[in-house]
Chain A
Amino acid sequence: MKKKTVYALLGVAVLGIAGFLISQALSSSLVYFILPSEYARDVESFEGRRVRLGGLVEAGSVQYDEQQLHLTFLVTDGIAGYPVRYDGAPPDLFMENGGVVVEGKFHDGVFVGDNLLVKHSENYHPPTDGSPIDVEELKESLR
């Protein structure tokens, strides 16, 4: 076998191993946010720790005081749900049954957020076709 061929095979092998390791590292450590049910399963380990909590805004749970800029709502993943308090205006794409990721800490069962991010689904369509938001699909996107 030529020297070049050996080097090429070695290179492919090294890259393959590197890729495998990267994928392992990413999938185990890069959990961008936790779900309410994951918090419920392991409350102690998250107490007082700064985390990102992600889920859907429960329909009918949103209360917003425009004067005081107090926003409260329930974030849920269909299994568990927790009240969220956020001092600030809701983002434009914040909506009931919409995805959110909140950065903050748990205090006595209430998640106090200081940063409210929107996680929208990958469904794009004009408003005229009258189809309601597919909540199941949104939940699927949060898994």
Chain B
Amino acid sequence: MKTINFDHFAATKMRDEVKAAMEPFFTEEYGNAQSIHNLGDAPREALDKARSQAALLFNCASNEVIFTSSGSESNNLAIKGVAFARMAQGKHIIVSSIEHFSVLNAVKSLTKLGFEFTALSVDKDGFVNPDDVKKAMRKDTILVSVTHASNEIGTIQNIKAISEEVHSFGNGAYMHTDANTSCGFIETDVKELGVDMLSAAPHRFYGPKGVGLFYLKKGIRIMPLIDGGVQEFGRRAGTENVAAIAGAGTACELAKNELNKRREHLLPIQKHVIDTVLSSIDEVYLNGSRSNRLPNNVNFVVKYIEGESMLMWLNNSGIMVASGSACTSKILKSSHVLTAIGVDAALAQGSLLISLGEDNTMEDAKYFTEQLPSIVQKLREMSPLYEEAKSSK
């Protein structure tokens, strides 16, 4: 049976070009990039190259790019790094209520050290209102962090307008955006976005796992989370993961060159999935903005049934998807993002999260939309909630 990956937010297949860029640094050019002797030459060159490739994607200077271990680490570096460096100026941080856990749990951890945070509510499509940011700003606000695009519902925020509110408040607060989901699929030009910091995750766009990207604008103060040597301009110590960084650089270059091609490939597939599912199954709802949405994300809630069961039946048909139901969450809580956009807790259990990628075809989308209705029907026939709803009609 064919395996269809409709869960690219979990993992994308590395591109051959990425793998090829990594290969020399495992056994041939295994040197330490910090070495003065010749073994350090090729690794050092690889780091420089990757840094310029990332800088081109972000439209920044090479020395504004820091390599970390993951998108989560980049988010932690932004939140805690700024908090620790600027606690004399203030202890208030603003985030949105639909951030990734690497942002939300980071600010929550900081409350144990006396920091406070405001989690901004979002509208039914998941948008943060820039006016709300302005209203939430305080004299002691040191940082605002809003995700570029939601990793669950795909809604793309108006980061430019939010950044403008943060900077025009005039207290020196910094603006960070988590672009771990958006990078590689829509523009992540830091000048256009107006941000001081940005996080990105190469494994989401055909790069390797084990490496994260962090844009840190020149002049922005952070305290490192990992102290040690001089690596990454002293902002992130530890011997560099040269192979992964080389792969990340190549993934950035591919992203820069292919952004339009990717969008053109994904949009019709996304449209087919959304339109067909909404028209062929009753009481299914699309979450997130229809128009201002990542081209690779689809998020439905299917009434009366539970997401993990749907996920398992789809898996049985060779289709890999994710769900935001409590049962799939591992902490047994349904998606905080669906809660934030006002999806009823019971309905949120029927969450189905699809994330597309370059290996998906229109045939995959058609196969999925053929399989889903009978799976939904099967589970509904087994559901006491469906039975109740039918008998009350």
A in complex with B: no
